Amino acid sequence: MSINRKTKQNVKSAYLFPGQGSQKAGMGKDLFYASPSAKAVFEEVDHALGRSLSKLIFDGDDTEITKTVNAQPAIMAVSLACFSAFEEGLSENDTQKPIFVAGHSLGEYTALVVSGVIEIGHAAQLVQERGRLMQQACDANPGTMAAILGLEVSDVETITKATGTYISNINTPQQIVISGDKTSVSNALKLASSVGAKKSIQLHVAGAFHSNLMETAQPGLVEMIETLPFKNPTIPIISNCTSDPLYSAEEVKLELVDQITSCVQWNSSMNKMIDAGVSHFLEIGPGSALSSMTKRIDRSVRTTNISNMGDIETYRKYLND
């Protein structure tokens, strides 16, 4: 039985925005040339940063784009360009406001712009400074991250306590990311294997994100946040740290600072949105990691990837069928 257009529009949806790790050279280039609103996003980010980040994204190599100070504003810029092109490509009758927005780690900054908390240029400056401060913290307190698959959260908690590591991301019930100094993470992975982990994956990251090793980045981020105008969200933002909705500018500011050292509660965030009635998640931005996680959390909900002009056209056809 087909789903009619009206039913599709009445489905409760949420927008998801990806975080660091989804970057790749050349991402967003088709958006720049095909969508005036996407082009305007890239130009606004370039102007705000005082450099041609878009040229680096489109024509640079993966080594340069993966550097934290580049990757973070680049992913946000492409995600916002994708969102702008997505909105531009739909008619007023097609567009339905999501009941929540959420972003994985860095993606939370994209969600801030979409929900009207902060302007694009200010967000780009804030994210670039966040990347710089986090890189400084990584240099001062070297560390790494790894994903453990196939163990319960309680099992990983026992492992982190025994090895002096941290739980940094609870992505799905059995995909948990830990962080810490390299020796401690190595010891944790050996212990995880010995107690039945299906797989462990060393992540190629600059440091131990979302752990206490990032504490030195917080004061500078507070200082930057206080120089920028924040508004209350027009769409509730699901907090990475608590998985609760954020409704005020002050809550958002506290969230951004806490997020630097806190675990990303993605599994809980997704479940809270599903419990609130969301049955369709649109991942907007480069990559498809969040869509893959969603399927592992609850296979009954619909996921849609919007990462290029082809995806936007496919979604428009879906609405019009």
Q: For the domain that residue 169 is a member of, what is the CATH number?
A: 3.30.70.250
List the single range of 57-66, 193-202, 223-232, 254-263 with lowest mean pLDDT: 57-66
Give the closest residue to 254 by CA, choosing from 143, 122, 117: 117
What residues form DSSP beta bridges with 264?
169
The pLDDT value given to residue 95: 60
The pLDDT value given to residue 61: 87
- Residues 47 and 113 both lie in one domain: yes
- Residues 222 and 190 both lie in one domain: no
- Residues 193 and 53 both lie in one domain: no
CATH label of the domain that carries residue 272: 3.40.366.10
More confident residue, 283 or 7: 283
The pLDDT value given to residue 204: 81
- Residues 255 and 107 both lie in one domain: yes
The pLDDT value given to residue 3: 44
- Residues 252 and 178 both lie in one domain: no
- Residues 95 and 182 both lie in one domain: no
The pLDDT value given to residue 92: 61
pLDDT at 1 over 50: no
- Domain boundary pick from 203, 223, 248: 203
pLDDT at 153 over 90: yes
Active site residues: 105, 210
DSSP 3-state assignment of 103? strand
The pLDDT value given to residue 154: 96
pLDDT at 96 over 80: no
Rounded Cα gap, residues 20 and 69, in angstroms: 11
Question: Which of the four pLDDT bands, split at 50, 70 and 90, describes residue 151?
Answer: very high
- Domain boundary pick from 160, 176, 203: 203
**Could you tell me the two tokens for 180?**
């810490």
Rounded Cα gap, residues 98 and 273, in angstroms: 11
The pLDDT value given to residue 185: 97
Percent of the chain whose predicted confidence (pLDDT) is above 70 = 95
**Could you tell me the two tokens for 288?**
């498809």
The pLDDT value given to residue 247: 97
Contacts of 191 (CB under 8 A, 6+ apart): 159, 162, 163
pLDDT tens by residue, 266-310 = 999 999 999 999 999 999 999 999 999 999 999 999 999 999 999
What element of type H or E holds 101? strand 100-103
- Mean pLDDT over each residue of the chain, to the nearest integer: 92
CB atoms within 10 A of CB 303: 18
Rounded Cα gap, residues 277 and 137, in angstroms: 39
pLDDT at 2 over 50: no
What is the pTM (predicted TM-score) of this model? 0.93
Domain count, the chain: 2
Q: What percent of the chain is helix, strand and coil (3-state, nearest 5)? A: 50, 15, 35
The pLDDT value given to residue 133: 94
pLDDT at 97 over 90: no
- Residues 69 and 28 both lie in one domain: yes
- Residues 26 and 114 both lie in one domain: yes
8-state DSSP, 214: G
Rounded Cα gap, residues 126 and 260, in angstroms: 13
The pLDDT value given to residue 35: 95
What element of type H or E holds 199? strand 199-203
- Residues 155 and 302 both lie in one domain: no
Domain coverage including residue 54: 5-139+211-320
| Amino acid at the residue 53 | L
Average pLDDT over residues 98-105: 97
The pLDDT value given to residue 91: 63
CB atoms within 10 A of CB 107: 27
- Residues 88 and 230 both lie in one domain: yes
- Domain boundary pick from 185, 203, 221: 203
Answer whether 264's CB lies under 8 Å from 168's CB: yes
The pLDDT value given to residue 20: 85
Question: Which of the four pLDDT bands, split at 50, 70 and 90, describes residue 9?
Answer: low
Provide the sign of the torsion angle of the four alpha carbons 219, 53, 75, 169, taken in this order.
negative
Contacts of 87 (CB under 8 A, 6+ apart): 37, 95
**Could you tell me the two tokens for 234?**
């027009």
Q: How distant, in Å, are the alpha carbons of 85, 98, 166 from that of 10?
A: 22, 10, 41
pLDDT at 5 over 60: no
The pLDDT value given to residue 41: 97
The pLDDT value given to residue 8: 59
* 102: phi then psi, degrees, rounded to nearest 5: -150, 145
Answer whether 77's CB lies under 8 Å from 28's CB: yes
Contacts of 321 (CB under 8 A, 6+ apart): 2, 5
Percent of the chain whose predicted confidence (pLDDT) is above 90 = 81
The pLDDT value given to residue 7: 52
- Residues 45 and 158 both lie in one domain: no
The pLDDT value given to residue 88: 85
- Residues 29 and 118 both lie in one domain: yes
Q: In what order do the strands lie in the sheet with 280-284?
A: 245-246, 237-238, 100-103, 13-17, 280-284, 302-306
